[in-house]
Amino acid sequence: MDFRGHGKSRRSPPYRYKDHISDTIAFVERNMKEKTVLFGSSLGGMISLMVAAKRPDIVKAVIFGDANIRSANVHETMVNYHSYWEGWRRLACYNGNTQDLVKAVAEMPVNVPSQGKSKYGEGLDIISILNRSTCLRHLDPIVLCDWAKGGEDAEAFRNVMQGYEEELLRRITCPVLLIQENVKRGAIMTDGEVEYALSVLPHAYHIYIEEYDHNLGLYSWKKVRLLQAANTFLESLR
């Protein structure tokens, strides 16, 4: 499912964690006749954990792809990736033709010291840039407003985080597969996050896929390792 403000879903603010959590619960209750497996990466991963914590009666298991788990690390990501949040917010407002948008995405200034590049398009092929451009076409710019401000604005950070209750993670009793990627390639889930997750989730498994970045190989279609991990985990639930 696409969250509100994303993809083909309606643009209906606000876009807080609590809104995505309640939307996901409503979707599962309406469409699934039995407990379901939630697979989410990035924002979707964090939402999946909260749904599992708050509604264990509807979640069979969670597949969690590269994301933060601790609230403090979400704030750190807002700070470190500010150039991304602000750049994408601005480009999501773009009304020109696709060719010009693709060029603007490729030339979008970025400043994340660990990445060592100054423009978003550096190191990416045209299909990856075109894919990002298409995503931005279907994104409500308001989704990113508080993300762009949250690194310095405490109220904006609190607004985004409404509904994400870190202390509830210990309530999760279903199996969880944690898929960690390479931070040197742009992933955000650190070893410290993994260690913390394994300490609070009693039935968690962890796999590290070195060749993946934050997008789990989905943008590049290099999905073999992801499918291997997900399918093996799912088979174990039978």
Q: What is the CA 161 to chain-centroid distance, rounded? A: 14
What pLDDT does residue 170 have?
95
Q: How far apart are CA 99 and CA 190, in angstroms?
A: 36
Reduce the DSSP state of residue 41 to 3 states and report it. strand
Q: How far apart are CA 188 and CA 122, in angstroms?
A: 19
Bridge partners, residue 119, by sequence: 109
Q: How far apart are CA 209 and CA 213, in angstroms?
A: 9
What pLDDT does residue 219 have?
77
Torsion of CA 68, 69, 74, 75, to 10 degrees: -140
Domains and CATH numbers, the chain: 17-74+165-236 (3.40.50.1820), 76-158 (no CATH)
Three-point CA angle 90, 92, 95, nearest 5°: 100
Q: What is the CA 146 to chain-centroid distance, rounded? A: 16
What pLDDT does residue 28 have?
97
pTM of the model: 0.93
- Series of mean pLDDT values for 10-residue runs along the chain (238 residues): 94 96 97 96 96 98 96 94 96 94 97 88 91 94 97 96 96 97 90 96 96 86 92 95
Closest CA to 143 of 221, 91, 199, 105: 91
Cis omega (within 30 of 0) on the bond before 109? no
Q: State the first-to-last Cα distance of the chain, in angstroms, to the nearest integer.
A: 24
Could you tell me what percent of the chain has a pLDDT over 70? Answer: 100
Q: How far apart are CA 139 and CA 97, in angstroms?
A: 16
What pLDDT does residue 186 have?
84
pLDDT tens digits for range 57-109: 999 999 999 999 999 999 999 999 999 999 999 999 999 999 999 999 999 99
Instruction: Identify whether the C-beta of residue 179 lies closer than 8 Å to the C-beta of residue 63.
Output: yes
Write out the two tokens for 98: 């696709």
What pLDDT does residue 75 have?
96
What pLDDT does residue 206 have?
97
